[in-house]
Amino acid sequence: MDTYIVAGYRTAVGKSGRGSLRFSRPDDLAAGVIQHIMQQNPSITSQEIDDVIVGNATPEAEQGLNIGRLVSLMGLNSIDVPGMTVNRYCSSGLETIAIADSKIKNGMGSLIIAGGVESMSPIAMGGWRIVPNAKVAKENPSYYWGMGLTAEEVANKYKVSREDQDEFAFHSHMKALKANENGTFKNDIVPINVEQVYLDESGKRKTKSSTFDQDEGPRKGTSIEALARLKPVFANGGSVTAGNSSQTSDGAAFVMVASEEMVKRHQLKPIARMVSYATAGVDPRIMGIGPVKAIPLALKQAGLKLNDIDLIELNEAFASQSIAVTRELGLNPEILNVNGGAIALGHPLGCTGAKLSVQIFNELKRRNKKYGMVSMCVGTGQGAAGIFEML
Amino acid sequence: MSKRRIKKVAVLGSGVMGSRIACHFANIGLEVLLLDIVPRELNEKEKAKGASIEDKSVRNRIVNEAFSTAIKSKPAPLYSKSYTNRVSLGNFDDDLEKVAHCDWVIEVVVERLDIKKVVFEKVEKYRKEGSIISSNTSGIPIELMLEGRSEDFQKNFLGTHFFNPPRYLELLEIIPSSKTDASLVDFLLDYGRKYLGKKTVLAKDTPAFIANRIGVFSIMSLFHTVKEMNLSVEEVDKLTGPILGRPKSATFRTCDVVGLDTLIHVANGVRENCPDDERKSSFEIPAYVQKMADNGWLGSKSQQGFYKKIKGEDGKSQILSLDLNTLEYSAQEKVKFDSIGKAREIDDIKERTRVLVNHPDKGGEFYRKSFYELFSYVSYRLPEISDELFRIDDGVRAGFGWQLGPFESWDALGLKETLDKMKEAGADVAAWIQEMVDAGHESFYKVEKGVKHYYDVSSKSYLPIPGTEDLVVLDNLREEHTIWKNKGTTIIDLGDGILNLEFHSKMNTIGAETIQGINKAIDLAEKEYDGLVIYNTGGNFSAGANVGMIFMMAVEQEYDELSFAIKQFQNTMMRVRYSSIPVVVATHQMALGGGCELSMHADKVIAHAETYMGLVEFGVGVIPGGGGSKEFALRLSDGLKEGDIRINAFRERFLTIGQAQVATSGKEAFEMGYLRDGIDEVIVSRELQLTRAKKATIELVEKGYTQPIERTDIKVLGQEALGIVYVGANTMKSGNYISEHDQLISEKLGYVLAGGDLSERTEVSERYLLDLERKAFVELCMKRKTLERLQSIVSKGKVLRN
């Protein structure tokens, strides 16, 4: 049974902590994108949706209490549609699309909303209560390593220099700034109304509303020199800095996957279809190298060669791993992250897979190209890759 | 009249002194308004931003920048970063009217009378009646600032001379004018001591007041003596440094820090404004000093003065000294004086001074010459700069960090004996001293019934030093009230049923004698007294356990003995808490390692504001083994409420020890968990600390002190906490932040704090934790790398990271 992606949107991405979306809860962000999808397809009723699948890497606190189901309730304004939370760390938002796709292919549904959301503003990296297994921690501590340390390990093992990392980061910002300037992401983005309740200087309660519709990560005026001045943050004498790592962010992105029957019933316009999706495990010490194993698997499943791919979104968790993956697989830099990546645009963990998918659809369309690939490294030593074909 | 209350203070002028004075008032809990001038024009940055001169950020730029520089400076002017918001910033044009709400306005603007007068005129417009106004001038006569001011202003106006850095330098000179209300002077003498922690010294309105007058004379006279005796810069600094009970910076290094220009400015001021000073000629600038000033060799601020730091060929920096004859810099030569060699091992400063001054070598000659000059000079300063001689000693001690003031040194050398020698050497002395000696008096000071008395020149009799009549002062009790003593400790009866145990080992480290002393003091107190204070007058409360002893046992692989010694240490700490009498520990300066553990076991700590407390055992390759680790586990347990994220609280405690964090103030010791809210206290005044500690002990007795019961209800986390310990230690090691040995020590510490590898959160006893702690300690002492660390501290006094 054929499946089609018939809609895809994302919020603009806010910087975590001090950014514009720190006043917006993740459930609201996700619901906002889903409401937009429904508004764009007025003939579809909520009751026709079979499931809402929400990717999330830290499903606790504001993202806890079964956020998948809550987002379904809030986004569709109906009690009839179920929802689930899916966690494969940084590929969660791509994983959910693959799950939706397989369910429909197997006749387990005909219309599913899938994507992901992450608000890193209110939640500590890794969650609020980190309790590793003592025995495992002693025997295999790297299973629990912070991602930054694995990025250092990748830089060492694959001999990625500090200079190369900073240069990569610089270009990410330049591409992203240009995209912002050109309005490249306009078709991706659902404007989010942000409301802040606060006390003014004299202690009076005030409210302030604004519309957030542009990615705020790209840094104007950054330079290779400025990036070179930053101190390594994960290892003494290391090369990975806050400047050549992805930004922590807030954001949501969702797509709608439909069966052929649904496309016909509502005269939907298919955008793309998922051709393949593969995940793979690697040594957790060099987590960032995950795509090197996942990408060939996805290509093989699709029966395609790397040359067939027209555009690649490789999540820039760290410049070190992005460069190492590019070199190991011989990826073509010309078609890689053409509008910048997570170093400039941010990496809202569980949302990223869906966000990059939405971005690649619009860029492929603009270029009138066929195949696009979204890939990322995934925590605790994994890689994921999905291939889409434009329709 | 109702009592004066200081709630809000305004500091006018945000320079180096102004900002830091503001910080110190914030330290003691006041609201502070800090003002400075509006800049005349926009700077480049503001222009680029398109700012206007009307913008608040531009108008407050000078004060904003000065204050932010101050709070970032080291040593920190604030007890805690959290005090920053007690200081509000503004400018003279927009915010001066706010002085209407201030109880004390302190002027710290530039040293120009015309400008100061304008400021006072403006202040007068807004200030509230009865509020204090003071000038921090160091050179302008207070009397000259009164002109044009109202009666209420004049009555409430005086000089308050802080020294830099005001948080750390103890001296505060109080200089009334002829119009100052006498009750205000008394108020500030007390306020400065009790609330600001200063040694307050009443000074007359004479040039350079007391401390600088004497201090600068001493330096200027040395400038001449040095040439006469052909001594080198490094020789003089060796002779006038710690060996003589004075700061390490001694004479010439102090000049470099202060700046030769400042020194010359003060010296010229005295020479010009004190026509009757019999030693006016000493304030003349010697040719070589003038030459240095002309060359711009002013000291630290111009990177060269009497010393010059250079980068040697090997890349290491080297400090050269100036040859005062050729005015060329050269490598410092090793200084050797027989007199210093003889005196070095003597702990008592008075005895040491006697040995130094009476030695026949060139050093002794230098001491005699310079002391006789100083003694002569101060004898003539009464009643010119002060009516009472103790104020001169107080000023010099607190202002220049001398252990003994001039008259105290003279007492140490013998009043009559020295007078005779001075006369023999042709030194001139004021008549009152001869009269005093003729009347049969033998010293400038004497202690009567625990109270120090000074010789009062005008009444020709001994009077108690005002304000000290009710103080408990160890130095005044030691002679008559010592009841037990060993090499490292002394037990003194403070009266009213309270004993004091003082340490006097090297650096006040805790070794076998100290342990014996603590036990003895508790034995005695339990038997015949009501309570015990542990307090001392050394440079530091305690630098920690005697590492030498531990090192010896570890090297000899006498692990059973080591374990036994640690157990004894632990038992002694436990006795501090679990005895039938209250034990109050009063700390100051360093209270590290074992000194911190001792404090943590007290029934109450009265910490001086300048207490630097920390568990620094990681530096010597071990974990706290005297109950410190146990105590952190206990406090972690007590601090947790149902529903708290336990692992995060655990991590915080773990890191405090794991990073060997040392509090930079008593306040910070609370923030780091070394001191306990609601139980322990900080006191700003070192002078009043023992009196307070004794009183606090009595209060505990009066409240009905009963011996606490050892705890068996400490909830430890067990395996819940161990995972993060192993991951954290491994991550830090893998990121090259710590060594493999640090990783091992961290894991041992984590294991103890977690209470071992118990499957679930479990209630355990103090004894259980002490056993874990001791076991880990001894195991670490079996490691070669721990031995290397111990050896490094023992032999070089340096922390080794291996």
Q: What is the mean pLDDT of residues A380-391?
A: 98
Q: What is the mean pLDDT of residues B41-54?
A: 91
| Long-range contacts formed by B414-421: CB under 8 A, 24+ apart | B415/B441, B415/B442, B415/B443, B415/B444, B416/B442, B418/B371, B418/B375, B421/B368, B421/B372
Cα three-residue angle B112-B115-B120, rounded to 5 degrees: 120
Q: What is the mean pLDDT of residues B70-83?
A: 96
ipTM, two decimals: 0.93
B757–A131 C-beta distance less than 8 A: no
| Pairing relationship of beta strands A249-259 and A111-119 according to DSSP bridges | antiparallel
Which of the two residues, B787 and B345, has the higher pLDDT score? B787
Asked about A351 being catalytic, the answer comes back as no
pLDDT, position A361: 98
Asked if B354 and B344 touch (Cβ cutoff 8 Å), the reply is: no
Asked if B130 and B152 touch (Cβ cutoff 8 Å), the reply is: yes
Cα three-residue angle B741-B742-B748, rounded to 5 degrees: 90
A145–B719 C-beta distance less than 8 A: no
Q: In chain B, which residues fall in CATH 3.40.50.720?
A: 8-202
Question: How much is the mean pLDDT over chain A?
Answer: 97
Q: What is the mean pLDDT of residues B8-17?
A: 97
B8-202 architecture in CATH?
A: 3-Layer(aba) Sandwich (3.40)
Helix, strand, coil distribution of chain A in percent, nearest 5 = 40, 25, 35
Chain A hits for B722, CB-CB cut-off 8 Å, are 134, 137
Among candidate residues A36, A90, A173, A351, the one labeled active-site is A90
- The pLDDT tens digits of the residues spanning B588-636 come to 999 999 999 999 999 999 999 999 999 999 999 999 999 999 999 999 9
Q: What is the mean pLDDT of residues B127-135?
A: 97
- The pLDDT tens digits of the residues spanning B233-259 come to 999 999 999 999 999 999 999 999 989
> Could you count the other beta carbons within 10 Å of the beta carbon of residue B661?
18
Q: How confident is the model at residue B753 (pLDDT cuts 50, 70, 90)?
A: very high
Looking at domain B475-786, its CATH class is: alpha beta
Q: How confident is the model at residue A121 (pLDDT cuts 50, 70, 90)?
A: very high
- The pLDDT tens digits of the residues spanning A50-108 come to 999 999 999 999 999 999 999 999 999 999 999 999 999 999 999 999 999 999 999 99
Q: Which of A63, A46, A4 is nearest to A251 (CA)?
A: A63
Q: What amino acid occupies position B61?
A: R
Mutate: best of B730, B753, B758, B761, partner A, most A CBs <10 A: B730
Chain A hits for B757, CB-CB cut-off 8 Å, are 134
Distance from CA of A21 to the nearest CA of B (A): 26
Distance from CA of B642 to the nearest CA of A (A): 15
Among candidate residues A36, A173, A351, A377, the one labeled active-site is A377
pLDDT, position B347: 85
> Could you count the other beta carbons within 10 Å of the beta carbon of residue A346?
30
A234–B735 C-beta distance less than 8 A: yes
Distances (CA, A) of B786 to B511, B570, B621, B741: 19, 20, 4, 8
Asked about A347 being catalytic, the answer comes back as yes
Mutate: best of A128, A131, A156, partner B, most B CBs <10 A: A131
Q: What is the mean pLDDT of residues B401-426?
A: 96
A136–B647 C-beta distance less than 8 A: no
Chain B residue set in contact with A, beta carbons under 8 Å: 645, 647-648, 719-720, 722-727, 730-731, 734-737, 757
- The pLDDT tens digits of the residues spanning B675-720 come to 999 999 999 999 999 999 999 999 999 999 999 999 999 999 999 9
pLDDT > 90? residue B229: yes
Which residue is listed with tokens 């009196």? B691
CA distance B319 to B249: 13
pLDDT > 80? residue B313: no
pLDDT > 80? residue B443: yes
Q: How confident is the model at residue B1 (pLDDT cuts 50, 70, 90)?
A: low
CA A10 to chain CA mean position, Å: 10
Chain A hits for B731, CB-CB cut-off 8 Å, are 141, 144-146, 149
- The pLDDT tens digits of the residues spanning B626-673 come to 999 999 999 999 999 999 999 999 999 999 999 999 999 999 999 999
Cα three-residue angle B258-B264-B270, rounded to 5 degrees: 115
Q: In chain B, which residues fall in CATH 1.10.1040.50?
A: 211-435+454-461
pLDDT, position B312: 78
B731–A149 C-beta distance less than 8 A: yes
- The pLDDT tens digits of the residues spanning B258-304 come to 899 999 999 999 999 999 999 999 999 999 999 999 999 999 889 99
Q: Which of B527, B506, B528, B505 is nearest to B516 (CA)?
A: B505
Q: pTM of the entire structure?
A: 0.93
Comparing CB atoms, the residue among B647, B719, B726 nearest residue A130 is B647
Distance from CA of A365 to the nearest CA of B (A): 42
Q: How confident is the model at residue B315 (pLDDT cuts 50, 70, 90)?
A: confident
Q: In chain B, which residues fall in CATH 3.90.226.10?
A: 475-786
A238–B736 C-beta distance less than 8 A: yes
pLDDT > 90? residue A276: yes
Tell me: domain B211-435+454-461, CATH 1.10.1040.50, correct?
A: yes
Among candidate residues A171, A173, A347, A351, the one labeled active-site is A347
- The pLDDT tens digits of the residues spanning A291-325 come to 999 999 999 999 999 999 999 999 999 999 999 99
Q: How confident is the model at residue B797 (pLDDT cuts 50, 70, 90)?
A: confident
- The pLDDT tens digits of the residues spanning B545-567 come to 999 999 999 999 999 999 999 99
